[in-house]
Amino acid sequence: MLECIAPGLLATIQDTGRYGMQSQGIGTAGAMDVFALRVANALLGNPRTAPALEITLGGAEFIALETAWYALCGADLGATLDGTEVPLCAPFRMTAGQRLRLPAARRGQRACLAISGGFVADVVFGSASTDLRCGFGGLLGRGLTRGDRLFSRGLCEPARLPSRVFTSLAHPALVSQEPLALLPGPALALLSAEDRERFLHESFTVSRASDRMGLRLEQALASAARLPQALSEPVAFGTVQLPPDGKCIVLGADRQTTGGYPVAGVVASVDHGRLAQLRPGETLRFRVTGFDEAHRAWQAREKQIAQLAIVAGAWWKDER
Amino acid sequence: MAPCVAPTVKPLGDAALLVEFGTVIDPSINARVLAAWRAIEALRLPGVLDVVPAYASVAVHMDPALLEYEPLSRRLLAVCSALLPAVPEQRCIEVPVCYEPSFAPDMEELCAHTGLSAAEVVARHSGADYRVFFLGFTPGFPYLGGLDPALSMPRRETPRARVEAGSVAIGGAQTGIYPAASPGGWRIIGRTPLSLFDHGRYPCCLLAPGDTLRFVPVSATEFSRQSSGV
Give the domain ranges of chain A: 2-171, 176-289
Classify residue B1 by its DSSP letter: -
Mean pLDDT of A258-280: 95
The pTM score is: 0.94
Which tens digits make up the pLDDT trace of A71-123?
Answer: 999 999 999 999 999 999 899 999 999 999 999 999 999 999 999 999 999 99
Pairing of strands A84-85, B8-11: unpaired
Separation of alpha carbons B191 and B181, rounded Å: 12
**Given an 8 Å threshold on Cβ–Cβ distance, is B18 in contact with A125?**
no
Separation of alpha carbons B58 and B52, rounded Å: 5
Separation of alpha carbons A134 and B79, rounded Å: 35
Distance from CA of A36 to the nearest CA of B (A): 17
Chain B residue numbers with beta carbons less than 8 Å from the beta carbon of A268 are: 13-14
In chain A, which residues touch B (CB < 8 A)? 19-28, 124-125, 133-134, 136, 183, 231-239, 256-258, 266-269, 291-292, 294-295, 298-299, 302
Q: Best interface-test mutation with A: which of B199, B202, B205, B207 has the largest number of A CBs within 10 A?
A: B199
| Cα A58 from chain centre | 15
Closest chain A residue to B33 measured between Cα atoms?
A: A233
> How does residue B193 score in pLDDT terms, banded at 50, 70 and 90?
very high
Q: Which fold has domain B8-81?
A: Gyrase A; domain 2 (3.30.1360)
Closest in A23, A233, A267 to B209, CB measured:
A23
If you count them, how many residues does chain B have?
230
The answer to whether residues B108 and B188 touch, using CB atoms and an 8 Å cutoff, is no
The CA–CA distances, whole Å, from A287 to A198, A200, A214, A277, A284 equal: 11, 6, 19, 18, 10
Which CATH number fits the domain A176-289, given the four candidates 1.10.3720.10, 2.40.100.10, 3.90.1310.10, 1.10.150.130? 2.40.100.10
Q: Has residue A303 got a pLDDT over 50?
A: yes
Distance from CA of A290 to the nearest CA of B (A): 9
Q: Has residue A192 got a pLDDT over 50?
A: yes
The predicted structure's pLDDT at residue B66:
82
3-state secondary structure (DSSP) of residue B213: strand
Q: Residue B56 — left, alpha, or beta (φ > 0 → left; ψ -120 to 50 → alpha)?
A: alpha
Q: Residue A108 — left, alpha, or beta (φ > 0 → left; ψ -120 to 50 → alpha)?
A: left
Residue B18's φ and ψ, nearest 5 degrees, are -120, 120
Which CATH number fits the domain B92-229, given the four candidates 3.40.50.800, 2.40.100.10, 1.10.3720.10, 1.10.10.10? 2.40.100.10
Q: What is the mean pLDDT of chain B?
A: 93
**CA gyration radius for chain B?**
20
The predicted structure's pLDDT at residue B89:
66
β partners of residue B134: B143
**Given an 8 Å threshold on Cβ–Cβ distance, is B138 in contact with A134?**
yes
If you count them, how many residues does chain A have?
320
Q: Has residue B2 got a pLDDT over 70?
A: no
